[in-house]
């Protein structure tokens, strides 16, 4: 048995995942494959949109023995050569994000310019885009702004409530409505008083294509090491142009993580 066969058997035995959910997620990102097949049959007089229909059953028939993971591996191997073990490790790491209690962290180390990121990019494109966070060298402020949502002290989302209150305040423009407007503004301020910014990493895949910013690393470290499922940090985040801000950031959930790093870094 060669090394690749051994890695495949070992990983397969240790991957206890809810296959139904994984299949659904993998199917959702096979649209491109079917589009290309359908496009080949479209006549010059027919439009693309008229012919484009995605049928899960039709897709399943294309996958031998309904082995979805192996199907993706064979597709990736068409563009990533001689990296069977690495491809499997990346895909299994990504899939482990859907295991709530113990997702995997994977480190890929190689000399600079050795093509560390290409296999990762080719593998993660088969996962739902909303589940993949490419962290890179983004700052902590960018991470909070792009991935954070506004919540109350019990971590219930309040962005819709805040938006609706602001609309109501803007509509109360008459002098006779000043008292009602003041009540709405007080209600709005009360919401912001205990508000926090939540970054929910449950079921997410963090991909570090380059070493993360120091501040980001400090925020994510306890989560990545599985020290705590929920961490709260003091962090001032301006939430709108009116100057409202939250003073705490909560990071919840254990994502799977893929680190790409040069050996000399």
| All residues at 6 or more sequence positions from 237 whose CB lies less than 8 Å from its CB, including other chains | 141, 144, 145, 148, 197, 245, 246, 247, 249
Task: Please give the residue range of the domain that contains residue 246.
Answer: 140-262
Does the predicted model carry a pTM greater than 0.85?
A: no
Average pLDDT (204-213) is 85
pLDDT digit string, tens, across residues 131-178? 998 877 666 677 777 788 899 888 899 889 888 988 888 888 777 778
Average pLDDT (45-64) is 56
- Rounded to an integer, what distance in angstroms lies between the CA atom of residue 8 and that of residue 90? 12
Q: Are 198 and 250 a contacting pair, CB within 8 Å?
A: yes
Q: Give residue 85's pLDDT.
A: 92
Same-domain pairing of 40 and 148: no
Same-domain pairing of 115 and 190: no
Q: Give residue 38's pLDDT.
A: 60
In a domain, 135, yes or no: no
Same-domain pairing of 121 and 176: no
Q: Give residue 37's pLDDT.
A: 61
Same-domain pairing of 166 and 123: no
Same-domain pairing of 117 and 92: yes
Same-domain pairing of 161 and 187: yes
The residue out of 127, 159, 190 marking a domain boundary is 127
In a domain, 209, yes or no: yes
Same-domain pairing of 169 and 256: yes
Same-domain pairing of 116 and 204: no
Same-domain pairing of 39 and 87: yes
Residue whose structure tokens are 């959930």: 253
Q: Give residue 219's pLDDT.
A: 76
Same-domain pairing of 163 and 62: no
Banded pLDDT at 264 (limits 50, 70, 90) = low
Q: Are 195 and 246 a contacting pair, CB within 8 Å?
A: yes
Q: Give residue 263's pLDDT.
A: 60
What are the tokens at 228? 């705590």
* Strand-pair category, 149-151 with 196-200: antiparallel
Q: Give residue 265's pLDDT.
A: 55
Q: Give residue 207's pLDDT.
A: 92
In a domain, 132, yes or no: no
- What is the share, in percent, of the chain residues with pLDDT greater than 70? 69
Query: How many domains is the chain built from?
Result: 2
């Amino acid at each position: 048995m060669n090394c690749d066969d051994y890695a495949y058997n070992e990983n397969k035995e240790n991957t206890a995942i809810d296959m139904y959910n994984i299949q659904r997620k993998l199917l959702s990102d096979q649209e491109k494959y079917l589009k290309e097949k359908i496009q080949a049959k479209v006549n010059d007089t027919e439009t693309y949109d008229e012919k484009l229909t995605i049928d899960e059953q039709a897709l399943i028939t294309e996958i031998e023995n309904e082995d979805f993971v192996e199907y993706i591996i064979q597709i990736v191997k068409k563009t990533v050569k001689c990296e069977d073990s690495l491809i499997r490790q990346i895909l299994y790491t990504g899939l482990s994000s859907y295991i709530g209690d113990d997702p995997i962290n994977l480190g890929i180390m190689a000399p600079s310019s050795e093509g560390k990121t290409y296999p990762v990019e080719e593998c993660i494109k088969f996962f739902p885009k909303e589940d993949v966070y490419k962290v890179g060298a983004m700052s902590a402020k960018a991470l909070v702004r792009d991935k954070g949502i506004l919540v109350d002290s019990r971590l219930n989302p309040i962005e819709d409530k805040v938006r609706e209150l602001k609309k109501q305040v803007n509509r109360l423009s008459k002098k006779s409505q000043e008292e009602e407007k003041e009540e709405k503004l007080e209600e709005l301020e009360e919401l912001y008083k205990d508000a926090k910014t939540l970054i929910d990493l449950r079921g997410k895949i963090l991909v570090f294509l380059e070493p993360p910013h120091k501040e980001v690393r400090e925020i994510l470290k306890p989560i990545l090491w599985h020290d705590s499922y929920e961490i709260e940090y003091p962090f001032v985040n301006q939430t709108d142009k009116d100057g409202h801000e939250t003073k705490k950031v909560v990071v919840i959930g254990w994502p799977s993580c893929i680190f790409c790093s040069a050996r000399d870094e």
